[in-house]
Amino acid sequence: MKSTLWHILGAGSLGGLWAARLARAGLPVRLILRHEERLKAYNAKGGLTLSEQGQRQTFPIPAQTLDDPQPIVRLLVACKAYDAERAVARIAPRLAPGAEVLLLQNGLGSQEAVAALVSQARCIFVSSTEGAFRDEDFSVVFAGQGANWLGDAQQRPAPVWLDELAAAGIAHQWTPNILDRLWRKLALNCAINPLTVLHDCRNGELQAHAGDVGALCDELVAVLKCCGHAQAAAGLHEEVNRVIAATAANYSSMYQDVSEGRRTEISYLLGYLCIAAERHGCQAPLLNRLRERLIKHLKVKGLPSD
């Protein structure tokens, strides 16, 4: 049977990583780029390059712009959380009836916004712990093995095309509790990332701030429970300590965004959490204070604080 075409919006780190692996497995892929200028730059490069375990390979994956008329049956949205709603709004008219939309964004908030925009499509949320970065335009380095948890907030059964991910060597697992997964990752990111920015340090250096991390974890556990995600709270403090130790030499993704002068996803991490806590009437003084300090820090650096 002929495979459905994978449209991938966003030829950045994770979009490139998914596109290259799907193409390498012989699956049909189209990249969706912002505009003609990006398309020209991409075509001039001759494709998308993936570096994995020291091997570089270029895949001549065809690309198109957002305005291409081709209908979309399966879409992977691989832009940042703050770009997702606007990007999907632009291509929503191209979605075929019954289309599937995979949302790869970190944090929470953007997924619900996109799902509300495209109610005719099946939205699948993905929580990824894989690591990738761009070493140049249209060139991606696979930097960290991890997993992709996929699930459907409406609890529908797993799609048959998970086989294609297996064929492409994309580590994945279907879960009926994707929201708990996303809340758990959100909590981990909120416990670690803002503190690394404010202390200007690698993840491992947070071991010197164990008291702050512990107090934050206690409050995160209380907020998760109060917001109805008790499962995502179980053993949080231990996992935060484990991640800090396992990634001791690394800089968190938020630290890297700030140090490279890029916009952060704060509104979909700490911002989402503080607003959810308020909506549920949960006390979150430490998280609110942390958010205020982070916003102030971003403003001082001249970076967007939303």
Residues with active-site annotation = 185
Cα dihedral sign, 258-263-265-271: positive
Binding site for ligand NAD (CB under 6 A): 9-15, 32-34, 66, 78-81, 83, 87, 104-106, 128, 130-132, 134, 265
| 139-144 sheet: strands from edge to edge | 55-59, 48-52, 139-144, 131-136
The label of the residue with tokens 């995600």 reads 229
Contact partner, 273, from ligand NAD, ligand KPL, none, Cβ < 5-8 Å per class:
none
Which of the listed partners (ligand KPL, ligand NAD, none) does 87 bind, with a CB threshold of 5 to 8 Å by partner kind?
A: ligand NAD
**Residue 46: count of CB within 10 angstroms of its CB:** 11
21: three-class secondary structure by DSSP: helix
Task: State in angstroms the smallest separation of the CB of 246 from ligand KPL.
Answer: 8
Tokens linked to 105: 């964004």
CB nearer to ligand KPL: pick between 110 and 253: 253
Q: Tell me the closest approach of the beta carbon of residue 13 to ligand KPL, in angstroms.
A: 12
By CB atoms closer than 10 A (0-12, 13-18, 19+), residue 272 is buried
Euclidean distance between CA atoms 145 and 133, whole angstroms: 13
Least separation in angstroms between residue 157's CB and ligand NAD is 25
Q: Which residues pair with 1 in a beta bridge?
A: none
Task: Give the shortest CB-66-to-ligand NAD separation in angstroms.
Answer: 5
Please identify, using beta-carbon distances, which residue of 111 and 221 lies nearer to ligand NAD: 111
DSSP string for 82-108: HHHHHHHHHHGGGEEEEEEEEE--SSS
How many other C-beta atoms lie within 10 A of the C-beta of residue 136?
Answer: 9
Cβ distance to ligand NAD smaller for residue 68 or 212: 68
Residue 74's binding partner among ligand NAD, ligand KPL, none (Cβ under 5 to 8 angstroms by kind) is: none
| Beta carbon nearer to ligand KPL, 13 or 253 | 253
Binding site for ligand KPL (CB under 6 A): 188-189, 192-193, 243, 247, 252-253
Nearer to ligand KPL, 62 or 146 (CB): 146
Minimum distance from residue 269 beta carbon to ligand NAD (Å)? 9
Which does residue 252 touch among ligand NAD, ligand KPL, none (CB within 5 to 8 A, set by kind)? ligand KPL
